[in-house]
Structure 1
Amino acid sequence: MKVDAIGDYILFRNFLKPLSEKFGKITLVANKGCQEIVEQCDMQFVDEVIYFERKKFTNNLWYRIGLLRKLRQKSFQALIHPTYGRDYCGEDLARNIIALKKIAPKGDCSNVIDFHKKRFERNYTDLLSNADGLMFEFDRNAEFISQICEIKDIELSIDFPEWDISCFGLSSQYVVFFIGASTSCRKWSVERLCDLAEVLRNDLEIVICGGFEEWERGERIKGQLNGRNIKNLCGKTSLVELGLILQKSEFVVSNETSCVHLYMGLKDKKKIYVLSAGNTIVRFAPYPQKYSSFYRAIFHPFICKNFERFCWIAEHITHSGGGLEINQIEHLQVLDQIKEDFPHYVKI
């Protein structure tokens, strides 16, 4: 069961193969937002998929009753719930799934209070040990799955089918700005994005990507720069199309969100610059050193100067590291990083 966000699923999905080899048959309960990735990339390891829609589960009583009834009509050898920071919706599902064994990591209290976490532990027959402290999410998944089945040489990767993306009319050289994120505090402002685009668009087409909800922000960027050498594709691409667009770009500038994990799973990639105010630090950003050829984290100035201190606060006090203003990251800070890798594109 993996019902959290798209990025969480991307950092877990490579472990479906060893799980299918051990158990033979897998029913995957997954966030409906991951449907295209599941159906285009993962069905060789999955026998059945039950999709979960968080907003409907929370707000629509009949949807909630129907989904829980559907789950309770089945029985399983094992429920595997790999999410380290489990939440209330996931625990509601886990409680209603019938299985001989229910396995999860001990986890933390990042999404529930301590009292509820202890109560939710009764949902499981086996709570597997995990290392203390902050850990990159892919490595945390590996730590958990390795206690269930043998895993060898598993790396973060995603192979998309070769779809034709010529319909988007992209130039031969372009940079992707991914402007979406799950919360507003993770989104770099239109003004900052315009400042960055103004420098880069002389030599590169700026391709703005994001969900439907970002289309208006994309149009604002396009309008403020008079539309020259800028294309707004927010809400116009599927996940597979987005992956192929990212793969063929010169580089990517993104908020810390699912786009980053999608890009880092691609075989052919150049560089991604990730803007982060420290939300879920280490868990999702920065990527470990072995990925440094393709990845640069651009943190809030306070984090740059006090990284270890900020990580301690995130681990022991806030459980997330949020709260800093992402727009205190200036466009010149981003340009300095890009200039180190692509000096021919930064002419200031």
Structure 2
Amino acid sequence: MICIKYNKYVLSIGIKLCFLRQHFTSLKRILLGGKYNILIIKDDGVGDAVAWIPYAFLLRNHFIRHHYHITVLASSKTKRFFQQLQYADKVISLPAYKNKMQWICVRLIFWLCYQFDIILSATCTPNDILLPYRVPNTLFLYRWHYKRIAKLCHCNNIVDVTGLNIYERYDTILHYLKIKETINHSLLADSLNLPDYKIEDKSFFAVCATASDSLRCWEEEKFAELINLLISTTGKMAVLVGMKSEYAKNERIKSICKHHSKIINLAGKTSIMELFSVIQKAEFLVSNETGTAHIGGILGILTFIICGGGDYGSFVPYPPDIEGKTVFSIFPANHECFRCGWSKSELYSKRNISLHFCYYSRSSVYDNRNPL
């Protein structure tokens, strides 16, 4: 009981210190000048982080370094990635916590160490919206399962994005900030400052046969057959990409293929920025519905995504200015699992996407772009 009272006392002191810090920082800027501090909360997965890249650089171009200091609150998985992008002035991640008290204490320490003028939550898990140190210029996005939390907060800048795809959610942030610039994918690669990853054969196509969730993966045998067809018809090398843990799967696919000598397995051999470089140099990319597919999408590389439909409308299909032009999402004819959140595994329809459907979908686009 004493411990509980002590914790509540400490928390109340911490909250008051947060308020004092906020007012002191504002007064200091008025008197002495200085940069405005912006916090972008982006603590979700790698795929979401990749899709966020074009918007991140739009924000950086809008909020120039001379006047604005951008801090990204990332997850432990994406912290290094955001640091390599170099669009933010600082990237931080919070330590893990075991209970609610630790969660609150970690955040209080964070807000005592940092003070922000603008807070933008680019995730849909607004865990911090109930805490009492929100600044006036705050935007939080939430989906239906956070509706109860959102109702407790009397704030006009807590936006329900249920039913919107990830790009429309990010557009909501641009609209809130009154940013009218559009994304130029042709200039994005230059902004990334990609390393020059050397591959012996310069004429190749890239394949990502892996994903974090097995339900997002097309069968290995079908990938092997598709790779055989593509090598036979194009004469190009096949480069299999992925993480270190996915090396064995790529090797199994390679062992099934007939053209072993024309397949390179780069799983685990590239950093994420080197992976960007590999995909940028590829003639085209064939991928499962995963973060690697989004790399092809934002780089403007001809990309074919083999989709199951469990998250239909969230990431794929892409916006109209990309879908059907540089990115082609291939869906099964069976729509029973569409938007099921991969919960209806017995209806999982990605297996119903035939090899020949994928091959001819790719051929009809690629051959028209590259006539003999």
TM exceeds 0.5? yes
Shift of 1:172: 2.2
**Corresponding residue for residue 203 of structure 2:** 173
**Corresponding residue for residue 224 of structure 1:** 256
Residue 240 of structure 2 corresponds to residue 208 of structure 1: yes
Residue 120 of structure 2 corresponds to residue 80 of structure 1: yes
**Corresponding residue for residue 275 of structure 1:** 306
The one of the two structures with greater contact order (alpha-carbon pairs below 8 A, sep at least 6) is 1
Shift of 1:321: 8.8
1:27–1:49 Cα contact (<8 Å) kept: yes
Residue 286 of structure 2 corresponds to residue 253 of structure 1: yes
Residue 91 of structure 2 corresponds to residue 49 of structure 1: yes
Take 2:132 and 2:72, find their aligned partners in 1: how far apart are those partners?
12
Take 1:173 and 1:272, find their aligned partners in 2: how far apart are those partners?
16
Matched residue type, 2:68: G
Matched residue type, 1:7: G
Residue 208 of structure 2 corresponds to residue 191 of structure 1: no
1:163–1:241 Cα contact (<8 Å) kept: yes
- For structure 1, the residue ranges without an aligned partner over 5 or more in a row are none
Q: What is the TM-score normalised by the length of structure 2? A: 0.73
Taking the TM superposition and a 5 Å limit, the aligned residue runs for 1:303-314 are: 303=335, 314=339
Residue 69 of structure 2 corresponds to residue 34 of structure 1: no
Take 1:280 and 1:2, find their aligned partners in 2: how far apart are those partners?
20
Q: Secondary structure at the match of 1:100?
A: coil
Q: Secondary structure at the match of 2:221?
A: helix
- For structure 2, the residue ranges without an aligned partner over 5 or more in a row are 1-40
Change (3 A) 1:128 1:151: farther
**Corresponding residue for residue 4 of structure 2:** none
Shift of 1:162: 4.2
**Corresponding residue for residue 63 of structure 2:** 20
Change (3 A) 1:250 1:259: same
Identity %: 20
Shift of 1:220: 0.5
Change (3 A) 1:118 1:9: same
**Corresponding residue for residue 244 of structure 1:** 277
Take 2:262 and 2:253, find their aligned partners in 1: how far apart are those partners?
12
Take 1:321 and 1:100, find their aligned partners in 2: how far apart are those partners?
38
Superposed CA RMSD in Å reads 3.4
**Corresponding residue for residue 355 of structure 2:** 331
Query: Which of 68, 83, 106 is the equivalent residue of 2:107?
Result: 68
Moved segments of 4+, more than 4 Å = 58-67, 93-97, 128-131, 318-323
Take 2:313 and 2:271, find their aligned partners in 1: how far apart are those partners?
28
Q: Secondary structure at the match of 1:99?
A: coil
2:204–2:282 Cα contact (<8 Å) kept: yes
**Corresponding residue for residue 22 of structure 2:** none
Change (3 A) 1:72 1:216: same
2:206–2:240 Cα contact (<8 Å) kept: yes
Shift of 1:59: 6.5
Q: Secondary structure at the match of 2:246?
A: helix
Q: What is the TM-score normalised by the length of structure 1? A: 0.78
Corresponding residue pairs, total:
316
Q: Secondary structure at the match of 1:327?
A: helix
Shift of 1:275: 0.8
